[in-house]
């Protein structure tokens, strides 16, 4: 299939992009890496009349330290998660997740902003920004604001972005020396979307888990914190009993929907297996 005819506008600033979108209304779409939007156009799942190219907006580029935060511009490509030294040092969970996102050709073009704005429930990065307690910087007609990741993902492909708003950057609290991370997913083939995936950040004090954030993806409409599992771990040592208790907590945390490929009970089982592996790795590292 071919995409419906559309006009093209190359924005040079955030303001130009917002103005162009306001003029186009429902018929306008921003395009970043195009790795999700272009297939949707080709299949006519979407048929906008105007595409606003945001790839030439300098403000959306670059990774830099900003006080206690790492500011990652929306246009940062998935492949940069693997090559950018500041991400390795200050946001290693993003780096750990990147090899699981699609294939090299897609990682060369796809952007962090596009992945977070799209909010595909099977995507790695939305869950990672949730685990990291990141803040999403948004620009719109009413000005700028920052939204915590926990308040950003609202429902299936639905976020706190209002129509015509632009995701400018993702701000991540700097990784600290007492923290440990782990990321993994279970997929039928490397590069496929995960059957279930999980990212974890834990802080330790004298071998005790001070704080831990566990975020799953591919188990519901939005990336999901495993709060009962977290509560089973805080204040304890990471030993076998605690890991079993955290796995049991998932019964209250996750409610996978019925789907053609994996029954809910199987997905929950896979989530427990994955959590056990990841907590074991974090325990060894600590
Ligand atoms: P685009 O395709 O350009 O845009 C996607 C949507 O986000 C559009 O609606 C667009 O208007 C909007 N948007 C983009 N940027 C912004 C912004 N800054 N502000 C507001 N709205 C914006 N992803 C995974 O996570 N895991 C995978 O395993 C995976 N496998 C894939 C396999 C294949 C074969 C393909 C084609 C894609 C796969 N993807 C996967 C998707 C890929 O990661 C996309 O790159 C990503 O989801 C979207 O980023 P993008 O920059 O390409 O966005």
Domain boundaries 58-173, corresponding CATH code? 3.30.465.10
Its CATH class, for the domain covering 179-285, is alpha beta
What residues flank ligand 1, with Cβ below 6 Å? Answer: 29-37, 39, 54, 74, 101-102, 106, 110-111, 113-115, 117-118, 120, 123-124, 161, 166-167, 193
pLDDT tens per residue, range 4-58: 999 999 999 999 999 999 999 999 999 999 999 999 999 999 999 999 999 999 9
Tell the residue nearest (CA) to atom 49 of ligand 1.
114
| Mutation pick for ligand 1 pocket among 20, 34, 58, 117 (CB with most ligand atoms within 8 Å) | 117
Query: Topology of domain 7-53, per CATH?
Result: 3.30.43
Place of tokens 């506008």: 9
Q: Identify the segments of the chain with pLDDT beneath 70.
A: 286
The set of long-range contacts for 40-44, using a CB threshold of 8 Å and a minimum separation of 24, is: 41/3, 41/4, 41/6, 42/1, 42/2, 42/3, 43/1, 44/1, 44/3, 44/4
- Which residue ranges make up each domain of the chain? 7-53, 58-173, 179-285
pLDDT single digits (tens) 182-210: 999 999 888 788 999 999 999 999 999 99
**What contacts 43, CB < 8 A, 6 or more positions away?**
1
Report the distance separating Cα 111 and Cα 37, nearest Å: 12
Separation of alpha carbons 187 and 153, rounded Å: 23
**What is residue 193's predicted lDDT score, i.e. its pLDDT?**
87
ipTM of the complex: 0.98
Question: Which residue lies with its CA nearest to atom 29 of ligand 1?
Answer: 102
Q: What residue ranges in the chain does DSSP mark as E strands?
A: 7-10, 28-31, 50-53, 63-66, 69-73, 135-140, 143-148, 153-155, 158-159, 166-173, 179-186, 196-205, 208-217, 224-225
Take atom 40 of ligand 1 and give the residue whose Cα is closest: 102
Whose Cα sits closest to atom 45 in ligand 1? Answer: 110
Distance CA 284, CA 286 (A): 5
Report the pLDDT value the prediction gives residue 261, as an integer from 0 to 100. Answer: 79
- Lay out the sheet containing 196-205: strands in order across: 179-186, 196-205, 208-217, 224-225
DSSP letter for 133, please.
T
The four Cα atoms 225, 228, 231, 232 give a dihedral, to 10 degrees, of: -130
């Amino acid at each position: 299939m071919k995409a419906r005819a559309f006009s093209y506008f190359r924005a040079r600033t955030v303001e130009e992009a917002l103005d162009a979108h306001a003029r186009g209304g429902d018929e306008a779409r921003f395009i970043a890496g195009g790795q999700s939007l272009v297939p949707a156009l080709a299949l006519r799942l979407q048929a906008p009349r105007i595409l606003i190219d945001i790839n030439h907006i300098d403000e959306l580029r670059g990774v830099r330290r900003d006080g206690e935060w790492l500011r990652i511009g929306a246009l940062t490509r998935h492949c940069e998660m693997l090559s950018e030294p500041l991400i390795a040092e200050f946001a290693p969970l993003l780096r750990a997740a990147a090899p699981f996102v699609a294939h090299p050709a897609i990682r060369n073009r796809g952007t962090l902003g596009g992945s977070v704005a799209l909010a595909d429930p099977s995507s790695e990065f939305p869950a990672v920004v949730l685990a990291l307690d990141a803040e999403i910087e948004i620009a719109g007609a009413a000005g700028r604001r920052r939204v915590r990741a926990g308040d950003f993902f609202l429902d299936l492909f639905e976020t706190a972005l209002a129509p015509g708003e632009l995701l400018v950057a993702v701000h991540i609290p700097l990784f600290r020396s007492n923290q440990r991370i782990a990321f993994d997913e279970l997929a039928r083939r490397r590069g496929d979307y995960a059957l279930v995936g999980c990212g974890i950040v834990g802080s330790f004090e004298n071998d005790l888990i001070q704080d831990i954030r566990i975020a799953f993806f591919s188990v519901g409409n939005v990336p999901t914190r495993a709060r009962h599992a977290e509560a089973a771990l805080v204040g304890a040592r990471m030993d076998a009993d605690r890991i079993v208790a955290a796995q049991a907590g998932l019964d209250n945390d996750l409610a996978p929907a019925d789907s053609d490929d994996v029954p809910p009970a199987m997905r929950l089982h896979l989530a427990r297996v994955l959590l056990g592996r990841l907590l074991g790795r974090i325990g060894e590292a600590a």
